[in-house]
Amino acid sequence: MPNQPTFPDVLLLVDDHHLQRKRNLTRTFYQPIKCAENPILQTGQVPWDHLPLLFGSTRFDPLINCYRMWYIACQPAGPGENAHARTTVAEALSKDGTHWTRPRRDVKTWSTSKAKHAGNAKHANNTKRATNLLFGSGRDEVFIEHGSVLILPEAPASRRYVMTYCAIDTRMPLSKESRYYRLAFSGDGIHWRRGPRIPVVAPGAIDRHALLRDPDTGEFLFYFRGEQPFRGTFPTTDRVERTICLQRSKDLKNWSATEQVLAPDGTDRIGHNFYSLMPFARGRTLLGVYQLHDQHTQRQMLTLHFCWSHDGTNWHRRREEFIPAGRPGQWDRFNQAVADQPIVIDDTMHFYYSGRQHRHAGYENSKPDCGPLFSGIAMATLKLDRFASLSASFDGGKFTTTPQCWPANQKLLANVNCTWGRVEFEVIKPGQKQAYSACCIEGVDNVRVPVDLDWPVDQPARLVVRLFNANIYALYRQ
């Protein structure tokens, strides 16, 4: 089937990218639901983890058959220390993705002097304690934060885990030029060794970032911080507009030129800019959660929003919050951050995020509406791929896909809710009006409903879907 598009293995209905036409349908977007037991990790549980922040990754690790989280554990810097001097990569483990523990390892220990310095006198004693801390500042560099951990089972044993992080070269005067991105490698996700720097030409401060491997091409996509001139006239502590940039690599050694992929436009409020983008793949579509930064001195908030792309460069975004900041009386009032990818467990997507009670700049009690230095890591869930739906009432609506080929011996599944309605499917051959094959499903709410259809061999065909008092979220080929 040369030059003929193949029906995607995951077709999300976040936009009309794969649709030829639609009629009498409404598109609705959805938010994950926060777990009632949040936060799952928080300030004050262990003395070495004063501020747990989810700048990092959550994964199911097939090498140990367990869910793993790599996050940032922060302690206040000492006198004369860089503000990042006590920032460390930490690990949490879970058997079910819901209940998480901090494993005790001997990679980095906690001692009496550290406890006294951090103001945790009740934890001070004369012994060193094993912790869940794994990686931090080293010779000639101050660790700032890490971005992603990728698990590559096919890689050589010593390089099956790849981490990106950013740091400051202590041999240079402190400036933008002294900061850089770098790789680290591990054979177990616990013991890390530093690798080469990522030769990023960054038009901004080295800071939050993420690394994604495209499941379709195997290419590595590195999203990182950029900057453009500040347009505001209001008071702020950082007079730049943050943007998101991208570099690509096939081998983590040779990198493409920098391209800017997200920046404030004419529809954005002055002072709203992009703090980070955490991308993940569902089929051929890249989805993402971006941090929107309101940089006005009196606000200084970070909120989370949904976006998607079909090529990794051109992103479409929602302005509404995806995982909303907490309301008055809740623990996650300000400063939201999210792991670089969700974890899919059975038919549910688990999004892990962190929230704080203090605003982004100035921190503790610097403004009338700013709480104490408290942070927690939490979870929000969404049914598989139910980011958006197309729906119709009893009078019906329909959409038609673009002509696409269907591989032999594969079946169509639908992610639908037609508990009180029905969804009809038809396969239409090129140049034909009559259905080549048809099927109807009704009275079901499930993320994977088999659709019994026949497809023409070696010919592109259109799929027509009619909805009656029903919602459809995605289609799958498997």
Give per-residue pLDDT as tens, 40-83: 999 999 999 999 999 999 999 999 999 999 999 998 666 666 55
Place of tokens 């906690």: 110
Q: Alpha-carbon torsion 73, 76, 82, 83, what sign?
A: positive
Q: What is the pLDDT of residue 364?
A: 54
Residue 227 has a pLDDT of 86
Listed residue (339, 397, 453, 341) closest to 13, CA to CA: 397
What is the per-residue pLDDT for 119? Answer: 52
Domain ranges for the chain, please list them.
10-29+391-477, 33-383
Q: Which residue has the tokens 């993940």?
A: 280
- Is residue 365 scored above 70 in pLDDT? no
Residues 342-363: b if buried by 16+ CB within 10 A, e if exposed: bbebeebbbbbbbbbbbbbbee
Q: Is the pLDDT of residue 15 over 90?
A: yes
Q: Average pLDDT of 358-381?
A: 81
pLDDT at position 295: 83
State the Cα–Cα distance between residues 189 and 155, nearest whole angstrom: 13
What is the token pair recorded at 201?
Answer: 């030409």
Average pLDDT for the chain: 91
90, 71 Cβ separation under 8 angstroms: yes
Q: What is the mean pLDDT of residues 324-344?
A: 95
pLDDT at site 189: 98
CA distance 120 to 117: 8
- pLDDT at position 114, please? 56
Q: Which amino acid is at 299?
A: R
At residue 230, does pLDDT exceed 80? Answer: no
Supply φ then ψ for residue 178, to 5 degrees.
-85, -5
pLDDT (tens digit per residue) in 380-399: 999 999 999 999 999 999 99
Distances (CA, A) of 234 to 239, 297, 299, 461: 10, 8, 11, 55
Per-residue model confidence (pLDDT) at position 442: 97
**Dihedral sign computed on CA atoms, order 358, 364, 365, 367:** negative
Q: How confident is residue 177, by pLDDT bands cut at 50, 70 and 90? A: confident
Identify which has the larger pLDDT, 101 or 201: 101
Q: Cα separation of 276 and 293, whole Å? A: 9
Distance (Å, whole) CA 213 – CA 379: 24
User: For every residue of the chain, which 3-state class applies, written as one string?
Assistant: CCCCCECCCEEECCCCCCEEEEECCEEEECCCEECCCCCCEECCCCCCCCEEEEEEEEEEECCCCEEEEEEEEECCCCCCCCCCCCEEEEEEEECCCCCCECCCEEEEEECHHHHHHCCCHHHCCCCCEEECEEECCECCEEEEEEEEEEECCCCCHHHCEEEEEEEEECCCCCCHHHEEEEEEEECCCCCEEEEEEECCCCCCCCCCEEEEECCCCCCEEEEEEEEEECCCCCCCCCCEEEEEEEEEECCCCCECCCEEEECCCCCCCCCEEEEEEEEEEECCEEEEEEEEEECCCCCCEEEEEEEEECCCCCEEEEEEECCCCCCCCCCCCEEEEECCCCEEECCEEEEEEEEECCCCCCCCCCCCCCCCCCEEEEEEEEECCCCEEEEECCCCEEEEECCEECCCCCCEEEEEECCCCEEEEEEECCCCCCCCEEEEEECCEEEEEEECCCCCCCCCEEEEEEEECEEEEEEEEC
Q: Which of 167, 78, 75 is nearest to 123 (CA)?
A: 75
Percent of all residues in the chain with a pLDDT value above 70, rounded to a whole number: 91
Give 170's Cβ-side CA count (13 Å radius).
Answer: 12
- Residue found by looking up tokens 């099927």 in the block: 439
pLDDT band at 176 (very low <50, low <70, confident <90, very high): confident
Q: Would you tell me which CATH number, out of the four given (3.30.70.1450, 1.10.1380.10, 2.115.10.20, 1.10.3720.10), belongs to the domain 33-383?
A: 2.115.10.20
Contact 187, 219 (CB under 8 A): no
pLDDT-derived band at 1 (thresholds 50, 70, 90) equals very low
C-alpha closest to that of 200 among 168, 224, 165: 224
Q: What's the pLDDT score for residue 161?
A: 98
Q: What is the pLDDT of residue 363?
A: 57
Residues with Cβ within 8 Å of residue 22, at least 6 apart in sequence: 16, 390, 397, 398, 399, 400
Q: What token pair was written down for 478?
A: 């498997």
Can you tell me the mean pLDDT for 280-288? Answer: 95
Query: How does residue 3 score in pLDDT terms, banded at 50, 70 and 90?
Result: low
CATH number of this structure's domain 10-29+391-477, picked from the four choices 1.10.3470, 3.40.1050, 3.90.226, 2.60.120: 2.60.120
470: tokens are 């029903």
Structure tokens at 447: 């993320």
Query: 98-151 pLDDT, tens per residue?
Result: 999 999 999 999 885 555 555 555 555 557 899 999 999 998 999 999 999 999
